[in-house]
Each structure stands twice: as C-alpha cells, then as structure tokens.
Structure 1
C-alpha cells in the first residue's frame, strides 16, 4: 500500500514539474519542434518514467537532471535568438524545394528528400499537381510550406516569396545570391530609404520590388 501511494505521489509531482518545464520552455506545436527540442522532450519524459517505475530512486535524483535539461534548452534558445549562425547550426535552415514553379533537385538531394516525399506532403495539403505550386519550402522542422500560384480570371500569375536579406543586423549573403543581388546593391538601396546602419536593422526582406524593414527595439 505504501509503495502504491508513493507511486501516486511521484506521478503527481512529476506531472506538475513537467507541465511547469514545458511552459517555461515555451509553447510550440509538435510540427515546429527542432531536433534539439525533440531530444530534450524525449529525455525529460524518459527520466519521469524511470522515476515513477523505480520508487527506490530518490525523487530529487530524477528531478535534478530534468531541471538541468530545461536550463540547457533555455540557454540554447537564448543563444539562438542572439545569433543567426548558432540558430542555423542548431535548427538547420529552410530549403526551397520548388522555386517559381521549378523543382530544385539539387536542394532535394542535399536534404535527402525525394519526389515521393514531396508528392506525399503536397497531397496532405490538398494540392493535386506540382504545376500548381509557385514555392515549396522544406522547413527546418521537416514540414513543407507551400505557396500556390496566383490565379485570377482563370490565368496563373507568378509572385515573389519573402526572403530575409537581413536578420539581427547581419546580411544573409546566400539569400542575396538567390535573388541575384549583391551586398553593395542592398546597402545602396537601404541608404536611399534612410537606413544607413545595417546593425540597427532587425529584419529586412525584399518582395515584388519592395523592401520591408523592421528596426531593432531600442533599449
């Protein structure tokens, strides 16, 4: 009986603790979890199961590694917010699989992604044909974001996709190359609009010939 009550007590304590840990770590949908998030969540769950199944193990010995994992994840999230390079290293970068209606087979090979995967995920989004897709982006979480071609008066039109050119005060040279632009071109265009200090720009994108610029919050 005593052992049974101990299991109930441990289950309640660990349930409350896990709930608190996940709230502190932030709200994210399952499909949006990075590999790091997923590993941390699985490890925390396993530690909780071990603590419940083994009453002879002190509950503090189970709680301590769970709290340490929480602190590691929060620290990694903090560094990810501060550094795009670190964020790309930990979470990976999205890949454009379909670019302006054309499948990028090189990008697919780099991600070890095949046409069966592509067609499956398109069907899940009720898209019948690759020809209806303007852009398809394989996100770092593994989900596929799809932008269909614009249709007006039974005509199909092409559009642009929002591609970040500046993130956290750092110019993304790779994205500049994707739109056939240079670092010098970007700086000159931003100067024309009154933005002289790149370091003060939190986010900048270029779409359909127009810039969207968001400045960093001044502390």
Structure 2
C-alpha cells in the first residue's frame, strides 16, 4: 500500500511539472504536438502506477525524455519559422473579405454547420457581416466583422470616458483575511473594521467576499446563514 501511494505521488507531481512547462492553456487551446504529448504522458504514468512489477524508472525515464524533447522542439521552433509551421501548423483563412473559401474548409474538414455554430457563438448570425474568419492552430475560430457590422466604440461616438477599469483585489476570501493584499492596497485593519461596520458586521469571518479596486470602490458580500 505504501509503495502504491509513493509511486502515485511521484508520478503525479512529475506529470504536473510537465504540464506546467507547457504553459497555462486549456485543452482546446493545445497545439497538436502538445495534445499528443499530454496523451502520451498520461499513458506512460498509468502503467507503472498500476503494475508494481514494472520498475518506477521505466515510467519516469520515458516521461522525462518526452518532456526534454518537447522543450527542445519548443526552443528550436522559436528560432525557425519553418519548423514552427511543421510542428504547429499555420492559421487558415476560411472567409476572406466576405468570400467563403470552400477549398480551405474542405482541406481542414471544417463543415458549414461548424462554421455557422462558431459564428453564432461569437454573436454573428449573418455571413455577410464577416470580413475575415481565421481558423487558428488551436482549432478556435477568430472572427473579424466588417466595420459597418461592428458596435461603435466611444471614440466613434465622440465620447471621452474616464478610465474606470481597474482590477479588484481580494481582501477577504470565504472568511479568511488576506493580510498581504490589504497591505498592498495601502489599507490597514482600522480601515477594514470601518468597512465592516458599515455593512453591520463585526468580524471578517462573517464575510464571504470583500474586494477593493484602484478607485477605492469596495464590494462586501456577507456569508449566508447555513441551513
């Protein structure tokens, strides 16, 4: 039992380290080479995890080899555009200046139903509104509408709004006070107690979420009473 636990922990952290090297991506955003690597790593880790007759190194060495090869190819692809195109492919224009490229769709086995579904997901219901549609290497469809079909921006309307966008900082997370965030915002416990008092609260453990942004706007959500 202890051997199974130890082997599982070692392989788990090894696979997690490998996935971290691939960057923060969702499954749908992986390049083909990254997706193949992920599948192979999971298979290699499963065998020594279940069969104790196989030495642990028999699973660790192939995993380290694949990770090293992936890092090497990543470095080489940064220096060679041709190699990058071979490993990752290149984006394909499916709609070019409003014209549907049927040959490109057939080459990528991208059906018309899939195209219309992707367009609807991005709020486009009419093909005539699309100037460019690009099928990216990750399989995502980038849609660029014609200027006449785009919603007007503030500068188009002659409006100069103030910069009201700021990133809120979490001060209390499910009753837990994040002291370092409080200090980073230039606030102290006295200020925090005053904010809680305004909400009719006496302790930070009564707060589910509390944030403050660069403009000093505070959002405080008390905990709901448990049934």
Higher strand share: 1
Match of 2:107 among 90, 105, 110: 110
Residue of structure 2 in register with 1:120 after alignment: 117
TM-score normalised by L of structure 2? 0.62
Residue of structure 2 in register with 1:77 after alignment: 74
Distance 1:59 1:154 in 2: 58
The answer to whether the Cα contact below 8 Å between 2:129 and 2:149 also exists between their aligned partners in 1 is: no
Ranges in structure 1 where 5+ consecutive residues have no aligned partner:
156-219
Residue of structure 1 in register with 2:142 after alignment: 145
Match of 1:88 among 78, 82, 85: 85
Question: Helix, strand or coil: the match of 1:151?
Answer: helix
Runs of 4+ in structure 1 off by over 3 angstroms are 151-155
Deviation at 1:153, TM superposition (A): 10
Deviation at 1:134, TM superposition (A): 1.6
Distance 1:154 1:50 in 2: 54
Deviation readout 1:85-120 (Å, 9 max, x if unpaired): 111111111011111221111221222222112112
Which is worse superposed, 100-109 or 67-76? 100-109
Residue of structure 2 in register with 1:68 after alignment: 65
Deviation at 1:24, TM superposition (A): 2.5
Distance 1:120 1:130 in 2: 12
Deviation readout 1:12-40 (Å, 9 max, x if unpaired): 11111111112223333322211111111
Matches within 5 A, 1:1-219: 4-151=1-148
Distance 2:19 2:111 in 1: 34
Which structure has the larger Rg over C-alpha atoms? 2
Considering only aligned residues, what root-mean-square deviation do their CA atoms show, in Å?
2.0
